[in-house]
Amino acid sequence: MLETLSLASHGPVIPVIVIQRLEDAVPLAEALVAGGVKVLEVTLRTPVALQAMEAMAKVPGAIVGAGTLRTPQDVANAKNAGCQFGVSPGYTDALAAACEREGLPLLPGVSTASEVMQANAAGFGFLKLFPAVAVGGVNLLKALAGPFPDVAFCPTGGISPETAPQFLKLPNVRVCGGSWLTPQDALDAKDWARITRLAADAAALRGA
């Protein structure tokens, strides 16, 4: 299976982005990259998401991936939009096979030990824990470290700038996902300078 672990080498936080207006896509990507955040997960949750991914993928320095992949068609669409990786809320063999066919590295979501075993058996050693806080957060990740010492995680869901350092200190966490880097009020105000500041703060979290 194509691995996504290299994504963690670019910084401690991957922003989880919901784009409502296509016009926001490029300046948002530019603002995040300017703050030192290069890996951008754009969720397939809005009508303009694929167009936004295509536009953001052309921003110098940006490594754009598609989030909320659920079907093989989602995978094909993401690949055609120029995405370099995919992220899913859960795991299915069909989704993994589609990513393999399309040559799209996948960060699959899991929330239980059984799901970790299923994804790991399919060749995935870097997994997204989702929804991280709701399913047990730091305590669950500590518990999973025992039986799965060779599996690394990207916890996403309910994490804040205040709690992110607690996750990032865990030996089995390589990077975490967060929506706080792109608050809707900042996007509505087109306050790109604020987003650059939030990105810079997030990029510095590993040393916190």
Alpha-carbon distances, residue 30 vs 12, 61, 137 (angstroms): 18, 9, 31
Residue 182: count other Cβ atoms within 10 Å of its Cβ: 23
- The answer to whether 41 touches 65, Cβ cutoff 8 Å, is yes
Pairing verdict, β 109-110 and 13-17: unpaired
User: b/e string for 152-166 if b means 16 or more Cβ within 10 A?
Assistant: bbbbbbebeeebbee
CA distance 204 to 99: 32
Catalytic option among 30, 38, 79, 128:
128
Catalytic option among 38, 41, 79, 102:
41
DSSP code for 91: -
Q: Active site includes 128?
A: yes
DSSP code per residue over 15-66 = EEE--S-GGGHHHHHHHHHHTT--EEEEES-STTHHHHHHHHTTSTT-EEEE
Tokens of 42: 């754009």
| Residues marked as catalytic | 41, 128
